Structure 1
Amino acid sequence: MPLAKGLKTLILSLMLFLPSWGFANERDSAVADALAAQLLGEEIILQNFYAARQGRPAWQEIDTVAGFAAALSGLEADGLNSQDYWPDALVAGYRKLYSMESTPADGASFDLQISRILLAALHHLQRGKVDPYSVDPSWEVPIDAPSLDLAAISQAVDAQRFEQAFTLARPSAAPYERLRAGLARYRHIERQGGWPMLPARQQSLRPGDVHDDVLLLRERLAIIGELEVMAADLFTDTEPEVLDPRRYDDPLAGAVRRFQKRHLLETDGIIGPQTRAALNVPVAERIDQIRVNLERARWLLHGLPDSFVLVDIAGYRVSYFRPDGEIWRSRIVVGQPYRRTPSLRSAITHLTVNPTWTVPPTIRREDILPRVRRDPGYLARRNMSVLSPSGRRLDPWQIDWWNPGNVILRQGPGPNNALGQVVLRFPNNHLVYLHDTPSQGLFAREQRAFSSGCIRVQGILELAQLLFDDTGTPARIASLIARGKTRNISLARPVPVILHYWTVQAGQDGELVFRPDIYQRDAALLAALDRPLAW
């Protein structure tokens, strides 16, 4: 018999013979005996929960059952659906059980069912309700949540402190709490009636314009706190200047630019089609967007190292959390919607300086070959060599580019190399990495999904030197580049890297930043999150 199975059987066998003085009454002792028998075929976490209780039943008192049923409504604050956990049926089930001639086995079955619900709720709070692999087949981020403290949870149940049990499970990271606070705020806005919609217009609304839409715009921005009354207007002794509320004035333009910044729109103050569409997203959709990202937070915000690189795909940002507590941040360019940057967790192991670029098969087939067929001189201008599968250099003018076979295209190092001057490499199944780029102008855009899946980093040379310094790697990035040779430099210590997809981010000030769902992932996750549980 395997050791783990033998130990489990021993624990359950001992529970059959626990002394009756450990229970509140004779019936609880009988229920405990029935529990021990029924637990033999249950999941290990359920067995461990009752082992932490020395075999005592948990749900034999109406006050405990009713308190738990009421506490389940609090899961709405985490973006979960409290009805998934049958709160209305719990008290009714208890009363039905004890209004008939129930046996200890019936009581044990009832106890187990509520404990299943408790442990499911805790699991969903800690690790998410939805399996990320079910909505993203390319998912590569292990959910590194710690084991639940079942002894502390058992004590919270006995004390009827169910919110305390929930707190033990949910992520303790500040971003999660900010998202919860944002959800509460937007639900309050929904209860107050939401916000007005701006009518569809072909013509943009610009600062200085006078229009009826400005009244709606003022109301819309005031509801979410972007437009505030100036303090000077509240305390002045003079009569306030009479202004036309239909005029699109400077304070309103400033509020619009703040709104645009929080929604990754061009911050020009102009109410064009994209800004109008973002303003007109109903509050209910924003609530669902927050709920979806709370679920993503439950997947990720556990077991984070003290120092790591975090790639925020939908936010087009990279952050390096340094060992000294400082945070280095920069802009990035990510994969286009049809060449998505994947979610994954790995570790940066080495850097390539003055890299060559071997063109991936998809880019070769879809991007490079059509250009070479039109103009064979394209390869020379791009400093690209043609190689056989064995690495032998081939003459590009002797190749039938309509049927080139398994030739390899490789771009030499230099200022125009697609990877720029340095690449940060980490093992993964998608052949993606962080790299420099000669196309620096793209970083000026607010929405930057232009790559073929890899991540282009603005200021990556500074990041590379920080990685050298923080890992004790004796290297100077500027000197290595100046030598002009392609070279791999291993870090003295790997640095964890996480690539993750968020469409809502909570800032340090608590304000929420909403991002376009560039990869159209929110809908599938929301549908899975709202799918009723089967018990």
Structure 2
Amino acid sequence: MNRRELGLGVATTTLTLAAGSSAAAQQRSVDPQVFIAGFDAQAARLPAAVQADVRKVYELTGGKPIWTADRLRVLQEVAAGAERHALPVGDFFDFVGLAADRETAEIRTTAAAVTYARVLAEGRVRPETVEELWEMQKNSVDIPRGLTDAVSANRLSQWFDTLAPTDLGYTNLSAGYARYRRITRAGGWPAFRPGPTIEPGASDARIPALVARLVAEGDLTAAAGERLKGNLAYGSDLQQAVRSFQVRHGLGTDGRLGPATQRSLGASAEDRARQIALNLERRRWLKRELQPERIEVNTAAAIMVYWKDGKPVHSNRVVVGSSENQTPSLEKPFASVVANPPWTVPMGIARREILPKGPGYLAANDMYVNSDGWVVQRAGPRSSLGYVKFELRDSYAIFLHDTPSKAAFNLSVRQRSHGCVRVQNAVEFARLLLQPDPAKLAQFDTAQDSRETTRVTTGREIGVRLLYWTAFVDGQGRVAFREDVYQRDAKLAQALGIAVNLPRVVADAPIDPNDIAP
């Protein structure tokens, strides 16, 4: 049976689960011998993806049925919480229809339980099927063992609670999803019609719709919205609320309602709820245990956050890959910085963008062709890697680095590189990472003073995670959104059967054709 719930358009196979007093009586009266005799035939009719899990469950129980009236009630309570994970209620369990055949009810119930458990623990789709290069540490759970242990210990509800991520990033985003669903059910917000830019101090017929929108998302207080009701003037209070909106959406915070801000205002509450659902799915893919010291780069937001002792302690703007040269989703260790690095240019960039410009261009940019045929740019002020490179191990030539081109950090759309991550204030960030060891910090500072190429180890391994999150909770507890520059939301939504209609990205500057840096 296909179901479409919550307006998300997710179609999955519903597995009928016996419930109610009649079903409970049937469950209590299941003859194990009858059940075991028909097991293979029943299991073969299940979706192929769930058959192995179901067989493993009954191997662990010795072929005994597990579902009682009390356990069914617990399972029903568990299923009622699907919406907080942005999962369509009823897509895994159907408590309305009772199973006509008591023998199939047992196996179908188990199939539903393990299917839902695996979705919570690992996601609905495999990430490699929706991203060209995805090399993160996946979450992996022994679902059959976990289910049978939970049943034996009468901890079924508690076990299900452990499966989805429990970190604040997930739980706060989950709460945000619930909020946007409530806004949708209440009718959403008025549509904001695109048109000419609204300048501070101007009057415009679209102001009432703007006020209602900003109140709904919390950028403007309800009291201020009431005070501004019917007003067509774009005054200071409203400008401040628009700046809050612009910050949440990664836009230029000029207070003007130009094309980029108007496009973001054009998204409906349902659009944003669906975008949150996609990002909750991405988070379910990931291993739950994280290094307490790590660097996380959100390539959708072009922001880097440094975590130490499990807490965010530093953030920088970054420039990441353009839509044509996307920064992949990677998780790699990092253990050294290179002061004053030369750049060995990837062959593809050299052939397309450097060698055709001739020897004069190479000389002007401190480049030469080495004995192996590689184009190399010398260390120095013109180096595309700036004054420091952060080396990642086995990273497909993807790394973090400084840059002489600082202006791009001031842009709101910073997807402009050939795939590597350019770090704002990179030398200062390198010093922060080396601070725990004064000797290593002194070695780095000496190299910076002398401009000698020097590799400095950190003395510890720091994890680097390159992520793509277009919806996340910011430091003030608000849901922040970014537009789908890499079109990965669109691809994931298609895989999940979710219809999305997200605003198109409006870049605030064209990519410089002379920018050859990685």
CA distance in 2, matches of 1:245, 1:37: 70
Moved more, 344-353 or 50-59: 50-59
Q: Alpha-carbon deviations, 1:318-341, whole Å to 9, x = none?
A: 111123846121110001110011
Matched residue type, 2:114 = L
Following superposition, the deviation at residue 507 of structure 1 comes to 1.9
* Distance apart, 1:345 and its partner CA: 0.7
* CA–CA separation in structure 2 for the residues paired with 1:117 and 1:217: 44
Q: Does 1:212 align with 2:198?
A: no
Match for residue 347 of structure 1 among 333, 356, 360: 333
Cα distance in 2 for residues equivalent to 1:281 and 1:157: 47
Match of 1:444 among 410, 428, 451: 410
Match of 1:496 among 463, 477, 482: 463
Letter of the structure 2 residue corresponding to residue 58 of structure 1: I
CA contact (8 A) 1:49 1:151 kept: no
Larger Rg: 1
Task: From 118, 121, 132, give the equivalent of 1:123.
Answer: 118
1:213-265 per-residue CA deviation (whole Å, 9 max, x = no partner) reads 1111111111111111569x99xxxxx9x997111100000000110111111
Spell out, residue by residue over 1:23-76, the C-alpha distance to the aligned partner (whole angstroms, 9 max, x if none): x97745435755898899996654554466565412254x64466356424212
Give the alignment of 1:341-420 within 5 angstroms. Answer: 341-370=327-356, 372-373=357-358, 376-389=359-372, 407-420=373-386
Gap change, CA 1:149 and 1:467, over 3 Å in 2: farther
Match of 2:450 in 1: 483
Letter in 1 for 2:267: V
Residue 189 (structure 2) aligned to one of 182, 186, 195: 195
Name 1:132's counterpart in structure 2.
127
* CA deviation after TM superposition for structure 1 residue 497, in Å: 1.0
Superposed, which structure 2 residues align to 1:34-45 within 5 Å? Answer: 34=37, 45=53
Partner Cα distance (2:243, 2:267) in 1: 17
1:97 and 2:101 are equivalent in the alignment:
yes
User: What amino acid does structure 2 have at the position aligned with 1:413?
Assistant: A
Please give the residue correspondences for 1:132-211 in structure 2 after superposition, counting only pairs within 5 Å: 132-145=127-140, 147=142, 150=145, 154-155=149-150, 163-201=157-195, 203-211=196-204
Q: Distance in 2 between matches of 1:196 and 1:219?
A: 7
Q: Which amino acid aligns with 1:526?
A: A
Measure the CA separation in 2 of the matches of 1:208 and 1:176: 40
Tell me the residue number matched to 1:75: 82
Change beyond 3 A, Cα 1:488–1:271 = same
Q: Which amino acid aligns with 1:30?
A: Q
Letter in 1 for 2:175: A
Is the CA contact 2:385–2:403 (under 8 Å) kept in the aligned structure 1?
A: yes
Please state how far the C-alpha of 1:166 moved relative to its aligned partner.
2.5
The 1-side partners of 2:350 and 2:79 are apart by 54
Separation of aligned partners in 1, 2:493 and 2:439: 44
Separation in structure 2 between the aligned mates of residue 49 and residue 471 of structure 1, nearest angstrom: 51
Q: Partners in 1 of 2:168 and 2:254 — Cα distance? A: 31
What is the deviation of 1:112? Answer: 2.6
Structure 1 unaligned spans of 5+: 1-23, 99-106, 235-239, 390-406
**CA-to-partner distance for each residue in 1:377-425, whole Å, 9 max, x for gaps?**
2211111112232xxxxxxxxxxxxxxxxx3211101012000011011
Q: Deviations over 1:335-355 (max 9, x none)?
A: 111001110111002221111
Aligned counterparts of 2:453 and 2:32: Cα–Cα separation in 1: 74
Deviation readout 1:452-486 (Å, 9 max, x if unpaired): 11000112222222322347873432212222222
Q: Which residue of 1 aligns with 2:390?
A: 424
Q: Structure 1 193/118 Cα, relative in aligned 2: closer, same or farther at 3 Å?
A: same
The 10-residue stretch of structure 1 (294-303 or 71-80) with the greater mean CA deviation from structure 2: 71-80
Cα deviation for residue 175 of structure 1 reads: 0.6
The superposition leaves residues 56-115 of structure 1 with CA deviations (integer Å, 9 ceiling, x where unpaired) of 412254x644663564242122122334324157x422xx114xxxxxxxx2x5423321
Asked if 2 retains the 8 angstrom alpha-carbon contact of 1:129 and 1:295, the reply is yes
| More displaced stretch, 299-308 vs 39-48 | 39-48
User: Structure 2 length as normaliser, TM-score?
Assistant: 0.82
Residue 20 of structure 2 corresponds to: none
Task: Identify the range of structure 1 (319-328 vs 488-497) with the bigger mean alpha-carbon deviation.
Answer: 319-328
CA RMSD of aligned residues (A): 3.1
Q: Structure 2 unaligned segments of length 5 or more: list them.
A: 1-26, 45-49, 499-518
Superposed counterparts of 1:4-83, under 5 Å: 27-30=30-33, 34=37, 45-46=53-54, 49-50=57-58, 53=61, 55-59=63-67, 61=69, 64-65=71-72, 68-69=75-76, 71-83=78-90
Contact 2:139 2:284 in 1 (8 A): no
Contact 1:323–1:470 at 8 Å: present in 2 too? no
Bigger shift: residues 33-42 or 295-304: 33-42
| Distance in 1, Cα, partners of 2:148 & 2:482 | 37
> Cα distance, 1:313 vs. partner?
0.8
Which aligned pairs between 1:275-314 and structure 2 lie closer than 5 A? 275-300=261-286, 302-314=288-300
Partners of 2:483 and 2:29 in 1: how far apart?
A: 60
Percent of residue pairs bearing the same amino acid type: 31
CA contact 1:357–1:410 (8 Å) conserved in 2: yes
**What TM-score does the superposition give when structure 1 sets the normalisation length?**
0.79
Q: CA deviation at 1:287?
A: 1.1
**SS of structure 1 residue aligned to 2:432:** helix
Q: Are residues 147 and 37 of structure 1, via their aligned partners in 2, closer, same or farther at CA, if it must alter by over 3 Å?
A: closer
